[in-house]
A and B are shown apart, each in its own frame.
Chain A
Amino acid sequence: MRIPCPHCGTRDRREFYYYGADDYLRRPAADAAPAAWDAYLHLRDNPAGRLRDLWYHEPCGSWIAVDRDTVSHDIHGAVAVADLGGGRT
């Protein structure tokens, strides 16, 4: 599997660390109810098909959000998490 880094181009999967589904970008407000934090940290749609998930590209030190098919391993594109606001509210 090769993953397109928005900064470095398509690179070997071994250059990347996996973090998980992009739920981690939707951090609840600090005073949100515990259920919102449980959902953010633990509950997942876990789709068989298209998923946007987060990878860390070690050589350039950037987090990227990859649009990926979990059944075929096809990759439909990737964007830098920084360009999405980085998940900060």
Chain B
Amino acid sequence: MRYSGMRILAEGLTGNRGWGPAWRTPEPRPAYDIVIIGGGGHGLSTAYYLARNHGLKNIAVLEKGYLGSGNIGRNTTIVRANYFLPGNSEFYSHSLKLWEGLERELNYNVMHSQRGLINLFHSDGQRDAFARRGNAMINQGDDAILLDRDGVRAMLPYLDFEQTRFPIYGGLYHPRGGTARHDAVAWGYARGADRLGVDLIQNCEVTGIDIAGGRVTGVQTTRGAIRAGKVGIVVAGRSGQVAAMAGLRLPVESHILQAFVTEGLKPAIDHVISFGMGHFYISQSDKGGLVFGGDLDFYASYASRGNLPMVEHVMEAGMTLMPMIGRAKVLRSWGGIMDMTPDGSPIIDRTPVDGLFIDCGWNYGGFKAVPASGWCMAHLMATGTPHEVARRFRLDRFATGHILDEEGTGSQHNLH
């Protein structure tokens, strides 16, 4: 069924009896050409683009829980292309272009809202670094505007411009940045993949990866063995466990990142604001809740919840930046399991096992990457060669020294 305004009107006039499930619930078949492990944003978009861009038909996505039950539903929904390093810059630029056509492409409302992103800076040195970043963004073909203090004040008059700890010198404004409805992204890709013939198999946990003669031959699951010509591991925070089934150790450590949402309020914050010096960023959802977060808790964790010191730190940073939110009541906090790489950049690559591919290491920035990650992983799995914009996301880059350290803090597990 194609969704449209006319369809809503017609259904509304006929008691909404025509809506069906958005995707099938198939039984797993004994064999597929391609099996994707992980039914989150990246796994579903990989399956979608394998079918859509490469004409492949015999594909299954295996999800241990329900579709979109991992980080795609636990993030803070920010979409941006404000990267600096060659390797990252062209990838996120590609992703933002895919976002801009995503709703038409999927015939699904992902509520992509280009409300603009402002990264604040607080010193002359930081301004110079942001000016350079802005130039890199413009050179990449994206947009960036360097705002001075008065420019920020005109757009965000409610910030505390009098505070002395981190005085606001200005901001780097990225007008095409914004947010999207995170669950809808998973659902849109799921529906799109299903319509192209991909089997989406839920409640199907992979328990083993079969390898014969150095080549992957299939997977063992809680719903039986499934043979496969190619297998893609797209499981974010759980990458270590799944890769271990194939005898691999990854340059990944899983960490906890917390996020928070308040009660619904009237529209007050029109943009996405990031306050890097205080480790705080915020936007307001279309439902009215203030959605905000900070930095990692900074210890390895799979708990999907964090500890109180970081809660306190995030609240303090928020109050430093915008005291007006002090009366808002926090409704919920939660944590996502971040697959952190030593240099803070992702991996989309082959593995030493023939036919086994991996897409992981999204750190704290996986949501905006969902379209391009799937696009590039699909390209790699279908053609055997890396996509041009993801060619530096190599699994072996830590051994060879070709690291992608966007933050400039080093390439070691405790630094990002």
Contact = CB atoms under 8 A, between A and B. Distances in A.
Contacts of A38: 398-399
Interface in A20-60: 20-21, 34-35, 38-39, 41-48, 51, 53
B302 A41 contact: no
Interface string B139-168: 000000000000000000000000000000
Chain A interface bracket (under 10, 10 to 19, 20 to 34, 35 or more): 20 to 34
Interface stretch (B18-26, B118-126, B251-259): B251-259
A8 B354 CA distance: 51
A51 B342 CA distance: 18
Contacts of A53: 299-300
Contact of B303 (A14, A21, A71): A71
Interface stretch (B104-112, B215-223, B236-244, B266-274): B236-244
B298 interface: yes
Interface in A43-89: 43-48, 51, 53, 70-73
A42 B342 contact: yes
Residue of A12, A41, A46, A70 with most chain B CB atoms under a 10 A cut-off: A46
B300 A41 contact: no
B409 interface: no
Given A20-B300, A45-B240, A70 B254 contact: yes
A13 B244 CA distance: 30
Given A41-B398, A44-B249, A18 B303 contact: no
A72 B239 CA distance: 19
A47 to B, nearest CB: 7
Given A38-B398, A48-B241, A70-B303, A43 B251 contact: yes
Interface of B: 238-241, 244, 249-254, 298-303, 307, 309, 342, 398-399, 411-414
